[in-house]
Amino acid sequence: MLLCCLVSSLVVTAQTKYKGKVIGSDDKLPIIGASVRIQGSTTGAVTDVNGEFTLTLSPGQTLVVSYIGYQSQEVKVGASTTLTVTLVAGSNALNEVVVTGYGSQRKKDITGSVAVVNVANLKSVPGGQASALLQGQAAGVTVINNGAPGGNSAVRVRGITSIGNTNPLYVIDGVQGNFNDVNANDIESIQVLKDAGSAAIYGVQGSNGVVVITTKKGKSGRATISYDAYYGSQKPLSNGFRMAGSQEYADAIQRSVGSVQYPGTGGAILKDYITPTAANEGDPGTNPATYNINSNQITKTNKVGTDWFHEVFKSAPRTFHNITASGGSDKSNYLMSVNYLNEQGTLLNTYLKRYAMRVNTNFAIGDHIRVGENAYLYHKDNPQITNQNEGNAISYTYRQPPVIPVYDIAGNFAGTKSQGLSNSSNPVAIQTRAGNNKGYNWTMQGNVFAEVDFLKHFTARTSIGGTFTNYYYYSFNPTSVENAEGNTNPNTFQENAGFSSTWIWTNSITYNQKFGKHDVKVFLGEEAKNYNQRGLRAGRSNYTVATTPVYVDLDTGSPSGQSNQNIDINYLRLYSLFGKLDYAYNDRYLLSGTLRRDGASVFSPDHRYGTFYSVTAGWRISQESFLKNVSWLNDFKLRGGYGELGSISNIEKFNATNLFAANPQNSYYDINGVGNAATLGIYRSQIGNLLTSWETDKVTNVGFDATILNNKLEISFELYKKDITGLLFKPDLADPQGGANPAYVNGGNISNKGIDFSLTYHGNVGSDFKFDLTGNITSYKSRVVSLPDGKKYYDFTSDGSTRIGAFTRFQPGQPMGEFYGYVVERLFRDAADVTGSPTQESAAPGFFKYKDVNNDGKITPDDRTFFGNPNPNFTYSFTLNATYKNFDANAFFYGSQGNKNINYVKYWTDFPQVFKGGVTKGILANSWTPTNQNATIPVLTAAANFSNTAVFNSYYMESGSYFRLKNLTLGYSIPKSQIKQIGVSKLRVYLQGSNLFTITKYKGLDPEIQPSNLDKNTSFGIDFGSYPANQKVYLIGVQATF
């Protein structure tokens, strides 16, 4: 075989220079940037600004000419040295070449599961985080966003593949990298590799799916400069948390726990002041002359009620500017872009500012050697807030009582530091004080590569790339004297810095040759990856001279009580060998196989290597003679495959070994009894496991792709089954085994089954009105199949700050993340109802009546049951793109159906006895009283026990389904004739609105709720007051090309 190749490649034929021109069938205008390739080789050219190319050819060769939006065409080279190729317009994407794992393939040849993202649609959603934009763009990909500028997204490709991190692998221009901060404007194409057939080539890193991103390259022809910009504003949600005003709040407190602040009977009396406690005008301590921030902070009662939500959520502007310069010849091309993004968050002092630059260049040295680089640099300023936490400003907007004004009489922040107010903090104070905190990040990512074509059918490639990140953040935390809690803590300052670096060196050889009807492609590669991370943190406190940012640093704080730690020491090495074989017979029967062997430093030497493979096949039935004449069927391909993938996303850096550690917090002790110095001690930190190895995904995928009705309708349908075996679990050690961290063990399986369905229709009405309609449906079922030996279940506590225990039980036979607890049947109506019901601790009228699941006549922990699934039945999207003459429109709808949310906010707002925080509007009318026995909210009481607030139950569950207009854009392109004379080749202006409506029954801010920890998939769909992702954004934008 090899000999064959060598022989055939040595055949040399006479070569002549040919000139050609490519035009479009629609407007007969030259096509700039079309790819012209000699079939069976990688030699080719790109058409210039006049649609022309020059190539050295010999008769008999076949040219493949392709351009996005046109059908690829094959042209036999004849004797005439001038060629004119007319490409037929049409979105028949079958011949489109898409980038897949370590290479590219024609869409029609793909046998694995590869979702091609419509990048134009993706870019239509404004937002700084590229991964957030993936939402609804590819069947099989579930994305859950939040509204924090720079906030990460939860991305799940085909179900939930781990109890830990399920982020897909992002491969940008062939190198693993950080996708989130990639400038969306730089993106040329995105493919999502969903099954083993497409992703097994990534072996142990492929199990969460692989997103392959290609950035734009320069096109040959004259230099073009394009400018993109928008300006707009994001609007806070108009309703907020729907909190009660002061009178209703005070009445609710009075009817439950009571507070010295609101005296009276049968209705609370709002006094003039909350500090001094419940004082009226003229009372002692209310004279402004006696004001003292520490001992007599005089604060008036806000008798109407402070709308805390809208005190911290304000309209926020966003700006984006991008300039791209690109150009090239048939020997080289370049693209350079610079951009600036300033996305202000609606929550005070949250923002993402990013300054980025990309330089992509490619050079051909002779006909057979190409070198190039892709470089992306950015700097961002993006202080983070901890989302989904009872201690952040968002949660304080419902926890801070409305009677408290934002400011006291002296203009300082008012707070809870008076009797009987609550343990909340002033959210305006928190966010205002955070204004000087910074979170910086410098990142450089990209690669340099060289490719050599040799022996006619071979291409060798080497690439060295990686990501280098420096992060840097600091925060000053003043003493919040106005709060009930922590008002005597010293002020503190903390500064953190660190870096991480990843380098990846990839070498590969590709062989591609056609033998008659046989098309063979062989790919072999080798890759080494080294990841290294280190950081440090230092803190000081007791700043006395000044607390301004110009003064506060590590040197100016008190030397006593200083702290310094290493943080985030992490590393990983991987070494891999891999190969892929693609075989096609007669464009009809497709077969593909991959094999990858990975070695990872995290495992013991005996269990460090894993082999992953896949086999896929496709049958383009439409090519068969019996279907050739079916005119409505343009293309129909059946495909399927099986393979295995791995994951080490969740393993720790040194799993195999027994370890000891020394740490001031864990093992130091003041053995000298001096009170301010501890002696170094050592403790057993880990019980290693030599046997631990990969998580292995076994994926079966079947589906079909069809193009029908004269290429107007494209359908893709897939069924898959994805079994994750050897799931990495932290075993529960018995306490007598001590406190050392147990190594991960492989135990437990998850099964995912699902359907991906997508449909695209290209239509037109007359020649002026054209539209594309795209729909996606993603449906998965993730089920726990088994757990480590002997383990019946895991109860997972959310990383949000739950005060009522675990929400989720992980048990074989149940969906991932299903809610587990007591089922509330209703409220006890009266005393007779209590006596007539099963025995229940602290049962009383107006309290929860729990369901006696096992019918034993008493409510015990055995009556807890599974009652809700946070996974949607399906998520779906529709996109409509339409153009009419110079007008264009895009509408993007997204929805999630059938998922349940836990609205944990109700724990705070429906029970006044819970820390006396704010209460929900309508609580007086809707809570149980002897005369309102069918109430929706339990009786207002001081008691906090099993029958109301102490345990998790179904009261908190609500439907999380929603349907949303994510985006609507209307654009107008100024006719070329009017702008040509000013040197502009294209000018488009547009108006855009995002999140214009959401239809949902969910009562919280936003039914779209991220897990509180994006690196865990044990507990999700729980709302602690998430930064809402559904706020309206209005933009005006311009795109110009010169």
Partner 1 sequence: MKKIQLKLIIPLCLLLICAVYACKKSFLDKPALGQIDPALLSNKAGVESLLIGAYSELDGYGGKGAGQSAAPSNWMFGSITGGDAYKGSDPSDGANDQTPVATFNLPASNSFIVGKYASLYDGVQRANDVLRGIPNAKDLTADDIKRISGEARFLRAYFFFELRRNFFMVPYVDETIELKDAGSVKNDKDIYPMIEADFKFAMDNLPETQPQRGRANKYAAMAYLAKVYMAQAKYGTETKNLLTTLMTSGKTAGGQKYALNDHFQQNFSPEAGQKNSAESVFAVQASVNDGSLGNNSNQGDNLNFPYNGGPGGCCGFFNPSQWLANSYKTDATTGLPLLDDFNSGSPVTDVTYTGTLDPRIDITIGRKGIPYLDWGPHPGDAWIRNPGSDGHFSPKKNVYSKSEVGTNTSTENTWTSALSTSNNVNLIRYSDIILWAAECEVETGSLATAMSLVNQVRTRAGIQSGWVYLNSPYDASKSIYTVQTTPAANYKVGLYTVFPDQAYARKAVRFERKIELAMEGHRFFDLQRWGSAYQAAEINAFFASDKSIDITLKDAHFTQNQDEYRPIPQAQIDISNSKGPIVLKQNPGY
Is 61:114 a contact under the CB 8 Å cutoff? no
Considering the complex, state which of residue 631 and residue 665 has its C-beta at the smaller distance from partner 1: 665
854 binds partner 1 (CB under 8 A): no
Considering the complex, state which of residue 685 and residue 814 has its C-beta at the smaller distance from partner 1: 685
Kindly tell me which residue out of 507, 547, 897, 933 binds partner 1, with binding defined by CB under 8 A: 507
677 binds partner 1 (CB under 8 A): yes
Kindly tell me which residue out of 739, 813, 836, 975 binds partner 1, with binding defined by CB under 8 A: 739
8-state DSSP, 10: H
3-state secondary structure of 204: helix
Considering the complex, state which of residue 121 and residue 953 has its C-beta at the smaller distance from partner 1: 953
Considering the complex, state which of residue 72 and residue 494 has its C-beta at the smaller distance from partner 1: 494
Which range of residues in 44-52, 285-293, 658-666, 874-882 is near partner 1 by CB under 8 A? Answer: 658-666
Site string for partner 1, 937-976 (x = CB under 8 A): -----xxxxx--xxx-------------------------
Binding positions for partner 1, 758-817, rule CB under 8 A: 789-792, 803-805
Binding positions for partner 1, 74-113, rule CB under 8 A: none
Which range of residues in 382-390, 621-629, 633-641, 729-737 is near partner 1 by CB under 8 A? Answer: 729-737
Kindly tell me which residue out of 78, 264, 435, 681 binds partner 1, with binding defined by CB under 8 A: 681
Helices (H), 865-1008: 905-909, 923-926, 976-979
434 binds partner 1 (CB under 8 A): no
Contacts of 963 (CB under 8 A, 6+ apart): 893, 894, 895, 998, 999, 1000
Which range of residues in 255-263, 763-771, 849-857, 979-987 is near partner 1 by CB under 8 A? Answer: 255-263
| Phi then psi dihedrals of residue 584, to 5 deg | -130, 135
Structure tokens at 136: 């609804």
Considering the complex, state which of residue 186 and residue 527 has its C-beta at the smaller distance from partner 1: 527
Helices (H), 371-516: 393-399, 427-433
Please provide the DSSP assignment of 83-107 as one string: EEEEEPBS--GGG-EEEETTEEEEG
Site string for partner 1, 203-242 (x = CB under 8 A): ----------------------------------------
Question: Least CB distance from residue 672 to partner 1, whole Å?
Answer: 5
Q: Could you give the CA distance from residue 844 to residue 941 in angstroms, rounded to a whole number?
A: 11
Considering the complex, state which of residue 415 and residue 971 has its C-beta at the smaller distance from partner 1: 415
Site string for partner 1, 358-397 (x = CB under 8 A): --------x-xx----------------------------
Question: Least CB distance from residue 552 to partner 1, whole Å?
Answer: 12
Which range of residues in 397-405, 437-445, 674-682, 761-769 is near partner 1 by CB under 8 A? Answer: 674-682
Considering the complex, state which of residue 58 and residue 985 has its C-beta at the smaller distance from partner 1: 58
Q: Which residues pair with 877 in a beta bridge?
A: 776, 894
Binding positions for partner 1, 441-500, rule CB under 8 A: 452, 454-455, 460, 462, 477, 483-490, 492-494
Contacts of 2 (CB under 8 A, 6+ apart): none
Comparing C-alpha atoms, which of 668, 517, 662, 503 is closest to residue 574? 503
Kindly tell me which residue out of 178, 246, 346, 418 binds partner 1, with binding defined by CB under 8 A: 418
Question: Least CB distance from residue 793 to partner 1, whole Å?
Answer: 9
Comparing C-alpha atoms, which of 132, 152, 431, 223 is closest to residue 310? 431
The CA distances from residue 25 to 22, 85, 463, 710, 976, in Å, are: 10, 10, 39, 16, 20
Kindly tell me which residue out of 310, 608, 730, 826 binds partner 1, with binding defined by CB under 8 A: 608
Please provide the DSSP assignment of 976-1039 as one string: HHHHGGGT-SEEEEEEEEEEEEEEE---SS-S----SSTT--SS-SEESS---S--EEEEEEEE
Kindly tell me which residue out of 290, 292, 315, 842 binds partner 1, with binding defined by CB under 8 A: 842
Question: Least CB distance from residue 914 to partner 1, whole Å?
Answer: 4
Question: Least CB distance from residue 36 to partner 1, whole Å?
Answer: 22
Site string for partner 1, 894-933 (x = CB under 8 A): -----------------x-xxxx-----------------
Contacts of 678 (CB under 8 A, 6+ apart): 664, 668, 669, 670
3-state secondary structure of 133: helix
| Phi then psi dihedrals of residue 425, to 5 deg | -120, 160
Considering the complex, state which of residue 661 and residue 765 has its C-beta at the smaller distance from partner 1: 661
734 binds partner 1 (CB under 8 A): yes
Question: Least CB distance from residue 874 to partner 1, whole Å?
Answer: 35
H/E stretch holding 392 reads none
| Phi then psi dihedrals of residue 43, to 5 deg | -75, 140
3-state secondary structure of 585: strand
Question: Least CB distance from residue 175 to partner 1, whole Å?
Answer: 16
Considering the complex, state which of residue 188 and residue 553 has its C-beta at the smaller distance from partner 1: 553
Question: Least CB distance from residue 842 to partner 1, whole Å?
Answer: 6
Contacts of 647 (CB under 8 A, 6+ apart): 161, 162, 204, 205, 207, 208, 694, 695, 696, 697, 724, 728
Is 605:691 a contact under the CB 8 Å cutoff? no
Question: Least CB distance from residue 515 to partner 1, whole Å?
Answer: 22
Calculate Rg over the CA atoms of the chain.
32
540 binds partner 1 (CB under 8 A): yes
Structure tokens at 177: 């990298």
Comparing C-alpha atoms, which of 556, 259, 521 is closest to residue 416? 259
Binding positions for partner 1, 822-841, rule CB under 8 A: 841
Alpha carbons within 13 angstroms on the beta-carbon side of residue 854 total 10
Binding positions for partner 1, 260-279, rule CB under 8 A: 260, 277
Is 549:491 a contact under the CB 8 Å cutoff? no
8-state DSSP, 130: H
Question: Least CB distance from residue 332 to partner 1, whole Å?
Answer: 19
Structure tokens at 478: 């003043």
Comparing C-alpha atoms, which of 466, 465, 453, 457 is closest to residue 364? 453
Question: Least CB distance from residue 852 to partner 1, whole Å?
Answer: 17
Binding positions for partner 1, 550-589, rule CB under 8 A: 558, 560-564, 566, 569, 571-575, 577
Question: Least CB distance from residue 140 to partner 1, whole Å?
Answer: 33
Which range of residues in 197-205, 738-746, 754-762, 824-832 is near partner 1 by CB under 8 A? Answer: 738-746
Binding positions for partner 1, 6-65, rule CB under 8 A: none
Question: How many binding residues for partner 1 (CB under 8 A)?
Answer: 122
